[in-house]
Structures are given as C-alpha cells and as structure tokens.
Amino acid sequence: MSTYNHRLSGQRTPPRIFTLILLAGLSALGMNLHLPSLAGMADYYAVDYRVMQLSVALYLAGNAVVQIFVGPISDQMGRRPVILVSIALFLLATLGCIYAPTAEIFLLFRVAQTVVAATMVLSRAAVRDMYDSNEAASMIGYVTMGMAIVPMIGPAIGGFLDQWMGWKANFWMLFLVGAATLAITFTDFGETAHKSGKTLAAQFREYPELLRSPRFWGYSLSSGLASGAFFAYLGGAPFVGTEVYGLSTAELGVYFAAPAVGYFAGNFISGRYSTRLGINRMVLWGCVINGGGVLLSLLIAMAGADTVYTFFGLMCFIGLGNGMAIPNATAGAISVRPHLAGTASGLSGAIMIGAGAALSAFAGMLLVPGSTAVPLLAIMFATAISGLVAILMVVWRERQIGA
C-alpha cells in the first residue's frame, strides 16, 4: 500500500503517472531525437563529424552536473518549482540551438539544454516521496517503461523529420513537446516532498553521508556501468550504422530504436516483479542479460559474421538488461538514506550520466573511417561486466552483514 496518505496543505494533489512519464521522457527525447541528423548537421556547420558527435557527450556531461545540484535544491525548495523552472529554461535553450549560427554556439546551447535533467531526477524522487523501497522500484519501472517509448520512437521520428524538413525540425519538435509538458506539469504536479528547510550548504554537507555508504556506491555503480553500455552505443551507433552498414538517416532512426524495445520489456518486468523478487535479484539478472547480449554481438563481429541485423538486433538484450537493472538500482540507491531521496537521486544519476558521457565520447573517438563495430562492442562489454561486479559486491556485503 502506498505510504503517501497525506495531503500537503494548500497544494495540488500528487502527480499522475502520465505526468511523471512525460517528465522522465522529456530529457531522454532531448538526448537522442537528433542522432540520425549528426552527419547532416556536420555538413551544415562545415565541421568534422566528431565535433557534432560532442552534442551527445556534452549533453550527458551537462546532465551529470545538473543532477548533482538539483537534488539538494529540490530537497530544500520542493520538486514542483524546480521542475517548472527547468522546463522553461530548456525551452529557451532549444530556441538557441535552432538559431545558432555556428557549431560552437550550437554546442553551448546544447549544454544549456541539460537543465531539463531536473525533470528526470525529480520524477524518480517524487516516486520515492510517495512509495516505500520495493514499491518505489516497481513504480519507477512503470515510469521508465513509459519513458522507453521516447527513445524507441525518437530517433525514428528524428530521421524522418530530418529527411522531410531538415535537422532543425527535430529541435522544433523538442520545443513543442517541452511546452506541452510545462503546461501539463503546471496543472497536475502537486508538491510531493517534505521540504527540508535546510540551506543549500547544509544540504551539500549531507553528501558525505551518502558517499560513505558502500551500498549507495554499489547500486549507483551497477546502474551507471550497466547503462554505460547503452551510452557508449549512443555515441558510436550512428557512425556504425551509417559508415559500416550504409544506412540512411531514416533507416538509422528505425534500427537505432532496437535497445528501447528491450528496455520497454525490461521495465515491464521491473514493474511487475520487483516487489516480489527484490531489487538485488532484479539488478543482478539485468546485468547478466546486458553483458550476455553484448558478448554475443562482440563474438559475432570478431568472427566477421556481423550484419546490420545482428548488431542492432542483439542491442535488444542491452535494453532488456538495463530495463531490469536501472529502475531497481535507482530505487536501491535512493532508499539507502530515505530522508535524502532527492539528493541521492541526483547524485546517483550524476554518477550514471557522467560515466555515460565519458563512454559516449570515448566511443566516438575510437571510431574512425575504416573501423568495424568491434571497438564499440568491446567498450560496451567491458562496462557491462563492471556493472555486474558492482551489484555482486552489494549482494556479498549484505550477506556478510546478515551472517
């Protein structure tokens, strides 16, 4: 049963699940909608492909920084005002991307767009405000299952928009979706947090309490490293799709959605079974599936037998594993210290997205003309196995404590 049985005086009712899905999805849409357009954007600004590929890595890096600060701010001020302001600033930054005259100015506004990361962090924190640990894992699974629709259809839509009206159409779509989300959030999202009343300095002084927790690190690293395989994919798959397999932007958009199909299924499993099986078991099996899918694809590629179907098709397992691991690891991380849910959600997310930014940039650097898919798959496999090790350490530590 939900532990959220109170009404905060003078506030609206808690947000509906649909609103939380929109908030979680907006940041994801900003991350990957334009990916099929990267080659065309490089031509538009007359720069190397690697320069425009930085729009992914910088977006992820900016997300990580925002998530460090947004948790303490929302624990002090509440979730609602922070979310509304972040969406408004995102809209302004999106207009800057559309009208940027040079690649450098575009990338500057691209970083500014990352303020919208607050919506992803605080949609999860709002779930933790309303539910206890295992139930929160189930609810986060449902929220991110809905969110999975965004990366599933985002690149496909982006590819078709690019061919139809050019790359700027992707950012106009972002602006319209952001404006609609702002209106819905304003009318539906009632405050869920018990404001701490502490200064920001006092909030940040509580970070060591989280950082001294081995369980917090275990959950955060298992989530960050498991998802690292996906973020490396984000950085490298556009190159592999177009340069290795010769896909058009529209075709790339369709194939690129493969992990999201698995992610949708993994989130459904999380929503259905996390309460029954427990978060540790779900994270463990998610990491095993994630690493197994990458390993199979890597072996096929090393044998020279890979095709566009094997490469993108096996990415469904990466999505499936992440869909099981991320919601449960997130719920575990933000439940280590329930009174610091917003702070923990932001810091855990920063660890995950920061690792993703580095891996995305690294994948882009390794893939040069003439490359095969092997370097990308090797990076993905190494990070997936590291995520498995992290959750095994959590399981081991809990057994030691319980012994």
Compute the CA torsion angle 280, 281, 286, 288 (nearest 10 deg).
Answer: 110
- Predicted local distance difference test score (pLDDT) of residue 135: 66
Which residue from 311, 294, 165, 296 is spatially nearest to 238, judged by alpha carbons? 311
Q: What is the DSSP string of 108-124?
A: HHHHHGGGGHHHHHHHH
Backbone angles phi, psi at 9, to 5 degrees: -55, 130
For 235, residues 6+ apart whose C-beta sits below 8 A from its C-beta are 53, 56, 57, 359, 360, 361, 362, 363, 364
- Predicted local distance difference test score (pLDDT) of residue 175: 95
Backbone angles phi, psi at 69, to 5 degrees: -90, -30
Q: Does CATH number 3.90.1150.10 belong to domain 17-190+208-402?
A: no
Grouped pLDDT means (10 residues each) for the chain, 403 residues: 40 74 83 81 86 82 81 78 93 95 94 89 76 65 65 75 87 94 86 65 73 84 86 83 83 82 84 82 93 95 92 92 87 75 72 75 74 88 91 84 57
Q: What is the DSSP string of 3-69?
A: S-----TT-PPPPPHHHHHHHHHHHHHHHHTTGGGHHHHHHHHT--HHHHHHHHHHHHHHHHHHHHH
- Predicted local distance difference test score (pLDDT) of residue 188: 79
- Predicted local distance difference test score (pLDDT) of residue 148: 59
- Give Cα separations from 165 to 37, 40, 175, 396 (angstroms): 11, 12, 16, 54
Domain boundaries, the chain: 17-190+208-402
- Predicted local distance difference test score (pLDDT) of residue 364: 72
For the chain, helix, strand, coil in percent to 5 are 85, 0, 15
- Predicted local distance difference test score (pLDDT) of residue 1: 39
- Predicted local distance difference test score (pLDDT) of residue 152: 63
- Predicted local distance difference test score (pLDDT) of residue 296: 96
Question: How much is the pTM?
Answer: 0.70
